[in-house]
């Protein structure tokens, strides 16, 4: 199996290692300690949502249906969510979504994430059931943000915070779907080779390298799926002619962090070389944390893009 063994384990089973690494990162970067505390609280809340979502799928007898759809990926070349026509009904139950969102909001607020808008708390539309969370989730899967804009407008809050909350709710639902599909996703892990996730269709900018020939894998930041992707191809525009894709090692103290850039579309993505000798010696965090672990690469890439636009 391409995906590492933790890929088929519940988030709750990986929490001890995630907590340990977040504590370590907070000590190494005290200026970002609040962010790491919020992430720890978030993962703990999402672990409970993921477990409940998976239980709902099992109790509804939908696991076989999900796995059958996952096997169709090889034939129809579409993401699992598209083949299912959206998330299964048990995961779209309004009461379940509301309870899950409130649990996530309470957890991150307790760690320092602000829920205050200029007009009201971001919690109010959820608690009072004014906001349809099933519609919100459906829109996110379609790449729309109508409900996010409405929610932000209702409480006079910036959309970035509202968008973060919406994505934090969606992530454990998609992760539960991936877990339910299980080994039926084996073909997709090895042969999908598209720039978007074979489970949920999301784009990503995080990956890793390992194994024979240092194969590259992309990691979906929405559902946690991992799949093989050609190192010399851009995951955004598909460019793969010689010279289209270049990479840099801009951090001398962490040469195992690679920044890839497409010269045709300007997109960038971050890759962790898991078998770099210095990385093995230093130790690497669990893959759930690769995005925040490599945040310095985002700053470098976005700074370079800004300079090019001037």
pLDDT tens digits in sequence order for the chain, 310 residues long:
344 444 578 999 999 999 999 999 999 999 999 999 999 999 999 999 999 999 999 999 999 999 999 999 999 999 999 999 999 999 999 999 999 999 999 999 999 999 999 999 999 999 999 999 999 999 999 999 999 999 999 999 999 999 999 999 999 999 999 999 999 999 999 999 999 999 999 999 999 999 877 899 999 999 999 999 999 999 999 999 999 999 999 999 999 999 999 999 999 999 999 999 999 999 999 999 999 999 999 999 988 765 665 5
With tokens 């998330």, the residue in question is 87
CB distance 124 to 148 below 8 Å = no
In the three-class reduction of DSSP (H, G, I as helix; E, B as strand; rest coil), residue 82 is classed as: helix
What are the C-alpha distances in Å from 187 to residues 30, 63, 93, 156, 298? 42, 18, 30, 45, 31
Distance of CA 167 to the CA centre of its chain: 9
- Residue 189 structure tokens: 């892990």
Q: CA 152, CA 166: separation in Å to the nearest integer?
A: 11
Residue 239 backbone phi and psi in degrees, to 5: -60, 135
Contact 258, 271 (CB under 8 A): yes
**pTM, entire model:** 0.94
pLDDT at position 309, please?
58
| C-alpha to C-alpha distances, 190 to 9, 69, 164, 182, 279, nearest whole angstrom | 19, 17, 30, 14, 25
Say what the pLDDT of residue 8 is: 76
Q: In Å, how far are 122, 132, 139 from 135, measured between CA atoms?
A: 17, 5, 6
């Amino acid at each position: 199996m391409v995906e590492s063994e933790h890929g088929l384990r519940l988030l709750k089973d990986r929490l001890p290692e995630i907590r340990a690494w977040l504590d370590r990162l907070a000590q190494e970067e005290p200026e970002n300690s609040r962010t790491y505390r919020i992430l720890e609280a978030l993962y703990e809340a999402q672990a409970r949502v993921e477990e409940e979502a998976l239980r709902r799928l099992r109790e509804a007898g939908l696991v076989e249906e999900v796995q059958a759809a996952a096997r169709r990926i090889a034939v129809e070349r579409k993401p699992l969510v598209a083949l299912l026509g959206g998330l299964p009904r048990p995961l779209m139950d309004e009461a379940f979504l509301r309870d899950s969102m409130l649990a996530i909001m309470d957890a991150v607020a307790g760690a320092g994430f602000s829920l205050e808008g200029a007009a009201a708390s971001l919690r109010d539309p959820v608690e009072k059931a004014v906001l349809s969370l099933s519609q919100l989730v459906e829109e996110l899967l379609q790449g729309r943000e109508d409900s996010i804009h409405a929610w932000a407008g209702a409480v006079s809050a910036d959309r970035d915070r509202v968008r973060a909350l919406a994505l934090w709710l969606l992530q454990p639902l998609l992760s539960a779907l991936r877990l339910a599909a299980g080994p039926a996703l084996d073909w997709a892990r090895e042969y999908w080779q598209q720039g978007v996730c074979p489970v949920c269709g999301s784009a990503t900018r995080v990956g890793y390298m390992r194994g024979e020939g240092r194969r590259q894998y992309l990691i979906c930041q929405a559902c946690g799926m991992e799949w093989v992707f050609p190192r010399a191809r851009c995951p955004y525009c598909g460019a793969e002619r010689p010279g289209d894709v270049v990479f840099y090692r801009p951090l001398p103290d962490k040469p195992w962090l690679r920044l890839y850039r497409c010269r045709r579309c300007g997109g960038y993505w971050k890759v962790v070389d898991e078998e770099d000798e210095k990385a093995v010696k230093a130790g690497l965090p669990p893959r759930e944390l690769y995005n925040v672990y490599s945040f310095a690469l985002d700053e470098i890439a976005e700074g370079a893009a800004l300079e090019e636009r001037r």
